[in-house]
C-alpha cells in the first residue's frame, strides 16, 4: 500500500525527519520531495490500516493522503475479471442482465403467488419479497416474519425462481438461510457489521444495498466484510442517495454503476423503486440503470398497490412491468448484454471488453 | 392559487379567528378543519407571492404550505403541450432529440473548425464553444471574448449549424446576441436575475443550466424570469448536483428530467460532461439522459484534450463521439424519439402521448 | 392526527368524491376547499400510519401532506416538560449540562484509568469507552469486547462515574447491560430497529446518535422505537451530518439542537469529536453545542492519541480538556444552565422558561 | 506549488517516464516513489493552474492531487497576521467583534430609520439594508433601487454608522459605491466573477457570502478574484449551506469559521438569519457563530415583520435584538474578544494568539 504525507508550510527540518523516522519504524520506505511551500513524503510498503491516523498526528503534518484503496478482496486490482455468480442456474454478473421483482412485503399467500407468477411470466429471473421489514415507524406493518419466509420458499419452488429477502438481525441469519436463496442487506444495515460478518459465514449470495449516504468506498468496505469471511458471492446495489433534492425520495446516482465497475469485479444492480418513491418514475430509472451498465435491476411490483401494507406508491402494476421487461431487453441488447431469462446463460466474456458503451 | 395554514397544537380560538380574518383581508376564502391536535385552514383565491411569509408569522401558526407552484408561465398546468423551439430549422423539444457538441472553450480557429467539422459529420445539430469562461480561479484561462464569438459565428455559418455560447454578464448580452444563436446561462449564473432579465428581453433562445444546488422549483423560477420578459424560447438543462458523493464532479440527477417534464412544457437537456468530469463516464451518462426522456444532450469534444486550456479531462475524443452519436440514435429510436439530424423535423406529437417510456 | 390531500389540477369531481368516500371509509372527517387550480381535502380523525400512502395513490391525487408528526411518545405535544433522567444521581436534561468524556476505544486498563481519572478531575460526569467498535474496515481494531466492558465497569466504580458504551448487536444487549450504565446507539445503527427494540426492553438509559443522513423526524422515530417498549430514558445526540462540505468529517448541525427541543422533551447532546474529526476544532464545536442549548457534550480524550488504535486525530489531550471544561462551564452559566459536576443537581425548571437564549 | 501524480496499478514504465518527461517540460522537479501497487510522482516548482488537468490525462495516470491550495493572496501561508479592516473608524477582524444589523430590504424611510435607530442603540456597529433584492420569483418585491440607496446613505449619516448593501449587477457597482460603505456580494452571486472583478477595482470593503453549495476553497477563490484586482479589504461570511436537512432553510456550518481562519487571514462573519429562516432560531445561531470565533454576525431586524415585504419570518424584533447584543457581548468577552461598539478599537493582537478558544 501507499500513502503521501503532506507537511505544513511551517514544518521544520526536524518535523520532516521525525516523519521519515516513524515511517522507518513502521517498515515503510520514505521518498521526500521538498517544494517551495510544502514537503511531501511518500511512503511505500506494507501499511497497516491505522497508520494513516497515527502519521496524521505527528508535529508539522498537514494531512495524509491514502493512495491505495482500503479494500482488497473487493478490488479489481487484485481480481481483474468480472465476478459471475451462479444461483440455481441463474448467472448474475458479467454480460448477464437479471431482473429481480416481486412485492415489497409478503402480505399474503395470494398476493405473493399472483405477483410472483406475473413477474415470472414477464421474464423476471429472481423473486423478491420482504418478511422482516425495517420500518421507520414502530407502528407500521413489520412483515410476517417466519410465516413470510415459508411462503416465499413455497413460491420460489413452485415458480422455479431463486428468491431474495431482507435479513435485518444477525439472529435471523440461520432461519433466513433455510428458506431463501439470497440475503438482502438493506440500505439502513449497510454498516451493520455484525450482520455482514454473520452472512459472510454462510455460502449464500449476499445482495448489499448502498446506504443512503454511503460513499462508494464505504460500500466496497462493507462488501469486504462479507468477502473477508470467505463468502465471495456478493452483489452490490445502488438505490439512491440522500441529497438536497426532495422531489423524489432519493437521488439515483447512476454514475455510481460505472465507477464501481472500474474499481470492483462485483456485479452492481440498481433499485429504481426506492429511489423514485413513485411508480411513474420507476421505468425510466430502471432503463437508466441498465443503459449505464448495471448487471440488473430490482423492482417492486404489486397487483393492488393502493391496498399495499408497505410502499404501495412505488410499486409498478403487473401490466406496466411486462412492458418494462421488453424495454429493458431492448436496451440491454443494444449494449451487448443479455437479459438472463431469455439469453444464453453460458456467455462469460467481460462486459468492458465486449464492445459495451463504457469502452 | 392555494395554500394551507397549519396551526400549532397550542393555538387558541382567537388565534384561528385572526388567521381567518387576515385571509379575508387578503381577499381569500378560508376553509377550516379542526383536528384532534391541529387545525388546518385552507385558503383559495388570488394569493400574492408574499402572503405565505406574512401568514406564517401570525400568532399560533406552525407553518404555511404552498400548494400551488410559484411559477406560471413555465408550468404545464397552464400550457399543456410540449414547447418546441425552432432554431434556424432545427426543432428542439417534443419528440426531437438534439445533440449539442463542441469544445469547452474556443481556444483557436483551427481547433474550433476541426472539432466543429467532426461533430457535424457525426450528427450533432448545434455547435457549442465558450468565449467568456467563468472560472473558479482568476488565474485560469478566461476565454477569447469577442474574438471567440467571431470565430464561433464563422464556424456556425460555414458548418451550417446554429451556435450556443455562454453569457455571464448583462453587459455582454447585446454582443453575444450579435454572434451566437442561443444564450447559455451557466449553472453558477442560474440565479443571476439581472442576466436572466436581460436575455429575456431578446428574442434568442435561452439555455439555462440548473445550479449545482438548485431545486427544480428554483430552476423553473429562473425560467420564469426569462418567460416573464416575453421570451418564450427557454431550454432547461440538468448538469449534475452537488452531493456528498465525491467520486465524480457532480451527481447527475437523471430523475430530474421526468420530474421537470411532468411540471413544465419546456425542453430539458442533460450535460454529461460537467457531471462526470471524466471522459470515460460521459457516454454512459449521455445515454442515461436520453433513455429517461431528455430532449437532448450537450457534450464537450476536443481533438487534443491533454492540451486543452479548460476542462480537458471531460472532453470526449471525436472518434468516441461518433460512436456515441450512433448509440444515442439507437436508444432514442427505442423510445419513439428522433435524433434531429437524421429524423423528420416536422413531427410534433407530444412525447408523453407517444408511447414513450414514461407512460 | 391530520393530513391534507392535494388534488391535481386535472382531477374530476368524481376523483374528489372518491377521496372523500375513502376518507369516510377510514373513519375520517373530510373538509374540502376548492381553489382556482387545486382542490385540497383535509382529513381529521384517527389516522393509521399507512393511510398516507394509500390515499396518495387514488386517481387524481397529487400528493398527501402529513400535518401531524408521526412520533407520539417522543413529542412535546403530548409531554410538555423536559424529560430529566437520573443516572446514579447524575441528572441529565432540563437545565443540567453534563459532559461525557473518555477514550474512543478501551485499549488497555492503564489508558482507561489514566484518561478516566483526568476527565473526572476536570469535571466530566459520565465516563465513555468503546468495547465493541463498529469500524468501516474489517481489518481495523474492533475493540476488546467483554474484556473491555469489565474494565469499563471497574473504572466506573473506582471513579464513581456512570459509564456509557456502544452496543452494536442485539445479542450483546444483555451483557452490556450487566457492565455499563448507559447504552450508546451509534450513528450507523440509528435505524437498526431490532437493536432499538432490544434496548427498549431494558431499564437502562439509551443514548441515540443521529445517523449521518437522518432527518430529525427519523431520529425521533428511532427514539419512538425505544419509548414504545416502555423504556422512557432516552437521550439524543447530534454528531454531524454528511454534506458536500469535506473540510471536516461531518458538518455539525447546531440548529438541530433547538429544533429538536421545540419538538421533543428528550435531552439532546452534541458530539463535537466525530463531527470535527480533528482535535483542534473540538473545543469550538463543543462550545457551540452548549451555547445553542444542548444538554451536554460527549468528547473523546486520549493521553497519547498518536498511538491510539482508533480515531486518535480527534481525541483531545487531557490538559486541553481541562481548559475546555472551564470554558463550557462559563458558557453554560451565561445561559442559565449548570454543568452538573459543579451545580445543584436538584433544579428541575424547564430550560425554555428559565431565561435561556432560545426564549 | 506542489502536486502528486498517482499512477494506475497497470501503468507501465514508459507511462511513468512520460509523466516525468512532461513534468520536466513544465519546468517541474519530479520525485518518484514506486510502491507495491502504485507509483507516486511528486512535482515541485512553479505550477500553472491548468497543469493539474493536463497531467491528469496522460496515459496510466489515475489522478492528480493538488497539494497546495489554489489561492495565494487569501492564504494565511503568505500573510500570517489577521487582516483588520478600518471602515470609518470601525475595525473589523482580529479581536474585534462587530454586529451588522438592519432590515432585510429598505421598504420605506420610516422603517429604515426606526430599525436603524434601534440597532444602533442596542450596540450594532454597521447598518444593513437591501436596495437591490435578488428574489427567486420575478413577481416578488425587488427593492427600491436607487431610492433605497439614498435612504440608506441618509440613515448612515444620521446614525453615524457605516452602511452595507448588496450589489447584484456589475452595472450597479458605481452607483452603489457612491451611496454605501461596504459592498455585499450575496450567496447566489459568490461566483459571479464579473461582479467580483468590478468591486475588486474599487477601494470599498467587499463582504462575500458563501454560496449555498460552495466549498471553502471556492469561497476563498472568490475572495482571490477581488484581491487580485488590488482591493484587499475583503470580509467573508458563512450563511448556511444546502443539505438534506430541511427543518431549517440552510444548515449553518459553524465549523467553517475556524477552518477558514486556519487557512486565511480574512475576517469571517456568520449570518444566522438566512440560515435559520425563522426568528426564534436566530439568537442561538448568532451566539454559536461568535463562540466559534467569528469576527461578527449580520442579523436582520424588523419592527413589524409580519408586514415585511421580504423575509419577515427570519427578522428579529428590536427588543429581542437588544437582548441578543448583551448575550453576544458576554460570549465574546469570554473568548477574549471585544464587541466593537463597546470595546477598545485599537487592539490589534491576533485572535489565535490571544488566549482564544481555538488555541
CA C340 to centroid of chain Cα atoms:
19
Q: Where are the alpha helices (DSSP H) in chain A?
A: 13-25, 51-56, 109-122, 146-159, 173-179, 193-200, 216-227, 256-263, 272-276, 282-291, 318-334
d(CA C110, CA A45): 32
Q: Is residue C73 part of a domain?
A: no
Residue that wins the pLDDT comparison between B185 and C359: B185
Q: B167 and B268: one domain?
A: yes
What CATH number does residue C41 fall under?
Answer: 3.30.70.1140
Preferred mutation among B57, B198, B230 to probe D, highest tally of D CBs within 10 A = B57
Q: Do B168 and D137 touch (CB under 8 A)?
A: no
Q: Which residue of D has its CA nearest to A65?
A: D65
Phi and psi at residue A318, to the nearest 5°: -55, -40
D25 touches chain B (CB under 8 A): no
- The beta strand positions in C225-309, using DSSP E, are 234-238, 268-270, 296-300
pLDDT at C306: 85
* Separation of CA B200 from chain center: 15
pLDDT in tens, A150-176: 999 999 999 999 999 999 999 999 999
Nearest to D39 by CA among D1, D4, D2: D4
A201 vs C118: CA distance, rounded Å: 42
Task: Kindly report the number of other CB atoms within 10 A of residue B87's CB atom.
Answer: 20
Q: What is the mean pLDDT of residues C90-108?
A: 96
Closest partner residue to B258 (CB to CB) among A213, A243, A281 is A281
Coil, helix or strand at residue A165: strand
Q: D287 lies in which domain range?
A: 85-353
| pLDDT tens for each residue of chain B, 359 residues long | 788 999 998 899 999 999 999 999 998 999 998 887 889 999 888 877 778 888 998 999 999 988 888 899 999 988 899 999 999 999 999 999 999 999 999 999 999 999 999 999 999 999 999 999 998 889 888 999 999 999 999 999 999 999 999 999 999 999 999 999 999 999 999 999 999 999 999 999 999 999 999 999 999 999 999 999 999 999 999 999 999 998 999 999 999 999 999 999 999 999 999 999 999 999 999 999 999 999 999 999 999 998 888 888 999 999 999 999 999 999 998 877 766 543 333 333 323 323 345 44
Q: Are C70 and B9 in contact (CB under 8 A)?
A: no
Pick A37's closest partner by Cβ from D6, D68, D243.
Answer: D68
Identify all chain D residues contacting C215, using CB atoms and an 8 Å cutoff: 244-247
Dihedral of alpha carbons D310, D312, D316, D319, sign:
positive
Residue B31 belongs to what H/E stretch? strand B29-34
Closest Cα in chain C, distance from residue B24 (Å) = 15
Whether the Cβ atoms of residue A201 and residue A178 lie closer than 8 Å to each other: no
Spatial separation of the C-alpha atoms in residues A160 and A148, rounded to whole Å: 18
* DSSP string covering D84-99: -EEETTEEEBTTEEEE
Side-chain half-sphere of C100: how many Cα atoms within 13 Å? 30
The Cα–Cα gap between B53 and A14 comes to 60
Q: What are the pLDDT digits (tens) for B110-164? A: 999 999 999 999 999 999 999 999 988 898 889 999 999 999 999 999 999 999 9
State the chains in contact with A (3 or more Cβ–Cβ pairs under 8 Å). B, C, D
| Res D348: pLDDT | 34
Q: Which of C245, C253, C358 sits opposite D280 (nearest CB)?
A: C358
Question: In this structure, are A180 and A318 located in the same domain?
Answer: yes
Closest C-alpha among A217, A287, A218, A279 to residue A254: A287
CA distance D317 to D23: 60
Neighbouring chains to D with at least 3 Cβ pairs closer than 8 Å: A, B, C
Cell 406475473, residue? A118
* Chain D nearest C-alpha distance from C168 (Å): 26
Whether residue B35 lies inside any domain: the answer is yes
Select from A10, A28, A29, A38 the residue whose CB has the most chain D CBs within 10 Å, as the one to mutate to test that interface: A38
Task: Give the pLDDT confidence of A91-115 residue by residue, as tens digits.
Answer: 999 999 999 999 999 999 999 999 9
CB contact under 8 A, D313 and B212: no
Tell me if chain A has a CB within 8 Å of the CB of B358: yes
Task: Round to whole Å and give the CA distance between B324 and B281.
Answer: 12
Dig out the grid coordinates for C350 from the structure.
Answer: 424547564
Mean pLDDT score across all residues of chain C:
91
Do the beta carbons of residue A142 and residue A133 sit within 8 Å? yes
Element spanning C217, H or E = helix C216-227
- Cell 519504524 sits at which residue? A25
Instruction: Tell whether D246 is within 8 A of chain C (Cβ).
Output: yes
From B168's Cα to the closest Cα of chain A, the distance in A is 26
Residue with cell 443479455: A338
Contact (CB<8Å) B35/C68? yes
Q: For residue D283, how far is the Cα from the chain centroid? A: 20
Partner residue opposite B4 with nearest CB, options C40, C43, C44: C40
User: Where residue C311 falls among pLDDT bands split at 50, 70, 90?
Assistant: confident
Cβ distance D53 to B313 less than 8 Å, yes or no, reads yes
Which CATH number characterizes residue A336's domain? 3.20.20.70
Nearest to A311 among C53, C58, C137 (CB): C53
Please report, for residues B113, C190, D111, D151, the alpha-carbon distance to residue B108 in angstroms, rounded to integers and kept in the order given: 9, 56, 56, 50
Q: Which of C256, C284, C291 sits opposite D358 (nearest CB)?
A: C284
Which among B10, B31, B66 is the end of a domain? B66
Q: 417534443: which residue's cell?
A: B94
Four-residue CA torsion sign, D154, D155, D160, D165: negative
Contact predicate D199/D183, CB 8 Å: yes
Compute the distance between CA of residue A271 and CA of residue A294 in angstroms, rounded to an integer: 10
Tell me if chain B has a CB within 8 Å of the CB of D15: no
Contact between B127 and B162 (Cβ < 8 Å): yes
Block mean pLDDT (10 aa), chain D, length 359: 87 94 91 87 82 88 88 90 96 95 96 97 97 90 95 98 98 98 98 97 98 97 96 98 95 97 97 95 96 96 90 93 95 77 35 39
ipTM over 0.90: yes
Of D196, D197, D198, the C-alpha closest to D209 is D196
Whether residue C359 is contained in a domain is answered as no
Whether the CB of B56 is below 8 Å from some CB of chain D: the reply is: yes
A15 chain-C contacts, CB cut-off 8 A: none
Is A214 part of the contact surface with chain D (CB cutoff 8 Å)? no
B248-286 pLDDT tens trace: 999 999 999 999 999 999 999 999 999 999 999 999 999
Taking the CA atoms of residue C107, residue C111, residue C117 and residue C119 in that order, the dihedral angle to the nearest 10 degrees is -60
Do D56 and D172 lie in one domain? The reply is no
D36 CB within 8 Å of a chain A CB: yes
Question: Does residue C330 register a pLDDT over 60?
Answer: yes
Confidence of residue A342 (pLDDT cuts 50, 70, 90): very low
Sequential DSSP letters for D149-180: HHHHHHHHHHHT--EEEE---GGGHHHHHHH-
Q: Are residues D138 and D56 both part of a single domain?
A: no
| D322 burial type by CB count under 10 A (0-12 exposed, 13-18 middle, 19+ buried) | middle
pLDDT tens readout for residues A54-83:
899 899 999 998 888 889 999 998 889 999
Does D333 contact C at CB distance below 8 Å?
A: no
The three cell numbers of residue B290 are 436520453
Mutation target for B interface from C1, C30, C37: give the one with most B CBs within 10 A.
C37
- Measured in whole angstroms, how far is the alpha carbon of residue D83 from the centre of its chain? 14
Q: Which of chain A's residues have a Cβ under 8 Å away from the Cβ of D1?
A: 35-37
Higher pLDDT, A99 or A36: A99
Q: Tally the residues of chain B.
A: 359
For residues B163 and B312, state if they share a domain.
yes
Number of domains chain C contains: 2
CA distances for D144 relative to B196, D105, D175, D305, angstroms: 19, 8, 14, 18
Q: Which of A295-304, B309-318, C336-345 has the lowest mean pLDDT?
A: C336-345
| 3-state SS assignment for residue B208 | strand
- φ/ψ of B65, rounded to 5, equals -105, 120
A27 touches chain D (CB under 8 A): no
Please tell me the distance from the alpha carbon of residue D321 to that of residue D299, in angstroms, as a whole number. 9
Residues 247-266 of C with CB under 8 A from D: 247-248, 251-259, 262
Number of helices followed by number of strands (H, E) in chain D: 11, 15
Residue A207 has, within 13 A of its CA and on its CB side, a CA count of: 28
pLDDT score at D340: 54
Residues A167 and A300 in one domain: yes
Banded pLDDT at A338 (limits 50, 70, 90): low
Does A150 lie in the same domain as A62? no
Do C6 and C129 have their domain in common? Answer: no
DSSP-derived letter for residue A201 is T
Helix, strand or coil for residue D341?
coil
Mutate to test the interface with C, among D71, D286, D287, D326 (most CBs of C within 10 A): D287
Q: Is D89 found in the same domain as D56?
A: no
Q: Which of B11, B31, B62 to mutate to test the interface with C (most CBs of C within 10 A)?
A: B31
Asked whether residue D245 is domain-assigned, the answer is yes
Mean pLDDT, residues C243-270 taken together: 96
Contact A38 D9 (CB under 8 A): no
By DSSP bridging, strand A96-102 and strand A338-339 are: parallel
Q: Which of C40, C43, C45 sits opposite B42 (nearest CB)?
A: C40
What's the grid cell of residue D5? 501524480
DSSP assignment of B111-131 equals HHHHHHHHHHHHT--EEE-BS
Cα–Cα distance list, A101 to A273, A301, A318 (Å): 10, 6, 10
The reply to whether B80 falls in a domain is no
Q: Name the helix (H) or strand (E) containing C42.
A: strand C39-44
Measured in degrees and rounded to the nearest 5, phi and psi for residue A100 equal -100, 130
The reply to whether residue A54 touches residue C306, judged by beta carbons under 8 angstroms, is yes
Position C348 pLDDT exceeds 50? no
Whether residue B285 and residue A254 make contact (CB cut-off 8 A), yes or no, is yes
Nearest Cα neighbor of A344 from A82, A163, A95, A127 is A95
Give the count of beta carbons closer than 10 Å to the beta carbon of residue D158.
Answer: 12
Shared domain check, A186 and A136: yes
Nearest to D129, CA basis, from D284, D311, D286, D313: D311
Please check whether residue C9 touches B, CB under 8 A.
yes
- Contact yes or no for C270/C335 (Cβ under 8 A): no
Examine residue D327 and state whether it is found in any structural domain, yes or no.
yes
B62 & B112 share domain: no
> Are the beta carbons of A77 and D1 separated by less than 8 Å?
no
Residue range C18-45: average pLDDT? 90
Residue D326 belongs to some domain of the structure = yes
**A141 contact C CB<8A:** yes
Question: Could you give the percent of chain C with pLDDT greater than 90?
Answer: 75
> Residue D352's pLDDT is what?
30
Q: What is the DSSP letter of C251?
A: B
For chain C, say whether B34 makes contact (Cβ under 8 Å). Answer: yes
Spatial contact of A141 and A148, defined as CB atoms under 8 Å apart:
no
Q: Do the domain assignments include residue D92?
A: yes
- Using CA atoms, how far apart are residues A287 and A294, in angstroms rounded to an integer? 10
Contact A33 D45 (CB under 8 A): no
> What is the rounded end-to-end Cα distance, in angstroms, of chain C?
28
Q: List chains touching B (3+ CB pairs under 8 A).
A: A, C, D
C50 and C91 both lie in a single domain: no
Amino acid at each position: 500500500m501507499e500513502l503521501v504525507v503532506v507537511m505544513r508550510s511551517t514544518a521544520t527540518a526536524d518535523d520532516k525527519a521525525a516523519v521519515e523516522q516513524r515511517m522507518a519504524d513502521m517498515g515503510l520506505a520514505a521518498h521526500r520531495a521538498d517544494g517551495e511551500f510544502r514537503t511531501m513524503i511518500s511512503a511505500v510498503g506494507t501499511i497497516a490500516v491505522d497508520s494513516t491516523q497515527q502519521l496524521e498526528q505527528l508535529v508539522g503534518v498537514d494531512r495524509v493522503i491514502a493512495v491505495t484503496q482500503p479494500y482488497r478482496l473487493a478490488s479489481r486490482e487484485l481480481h481483474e475479471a468480472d465476478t459471475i455468480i451462479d444461483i440455481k442456474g441463474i448467472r448474475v454478473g458479467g454480460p448477464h442482465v437479471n431482473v429481480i421483482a416481486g412485492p415489497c412485503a409478503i402480505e399474503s399467500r395470494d398476493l405473493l403467488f399472483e405477483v410472483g407468477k406475473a413477474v415470472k411470466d414477464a421474464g423476471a429471473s429472481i423473486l423478491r419479497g420482504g418478511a422482516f421489514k425495517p420500518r421507520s415507524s414502530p407502528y407500521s406493518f413489520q412483515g410476517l416474519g417466519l410465516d413470510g419466509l415459508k411462503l416465499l420458499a413455497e413460491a420460489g419452488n413452485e415458480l422455479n425462481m431463486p428468491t431474495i429477502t431482507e435479513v435485518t438481525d444477525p439472529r435471523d441469519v440461520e432461519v433466513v438461510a433455510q428458506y431463501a436463496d439470497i440475503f438482502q442487506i438493506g440500505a439502513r444495515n449497510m454498516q451493520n457489521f455484525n450482520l455482514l460478518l454473520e452472512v459472510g459465514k454462510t455460502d449464500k449470495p449476499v445482495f448489499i444495498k448502498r446506504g443512503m449516504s454511503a460513499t462508494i468506498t464505504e460500500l466496497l468496505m462493507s462488501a469486504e466484510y462479507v468477502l473477508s469471511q470467505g463468502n465471495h458471492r456478493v452483489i452490490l446495489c445502488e438505490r439512491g442517495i440522500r441529497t438536497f433534492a426532495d422531489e423524489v425520495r432519493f437521488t439515483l446516482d447512476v454514475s455510481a454503476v460505472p465507477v464501481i465497475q472500474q474499481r470492483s469485479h462485483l456485479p452492481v444492480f440498481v433499485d429504481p423503486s426506492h429511489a423514485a418513491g413513485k411508480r411513474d418514475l420507476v421505468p425510466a430509472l430502471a432503463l437508466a440503470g441498465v443503459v449505464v451498465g448495471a448487471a440488473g435491476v430490482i423492482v417492486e411490483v404489486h397487483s393492488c398497490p393502493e391496498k399495499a401494507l408497505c410502499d404501495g406508491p412505488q410499486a409498478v402494476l403487473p401490466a406496466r412491468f411486462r412492458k418494462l421487461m421488453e424495454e429493458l431487453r431492448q436496451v440491454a441488447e443494444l449494449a451487448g448484454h443479455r437479459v438472463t431469462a431469455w439469453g444464453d446463460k453460458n456467455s462469460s466474456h467481460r462486459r468492458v471488453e465486449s464492445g459495451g458503451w463504457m469502452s
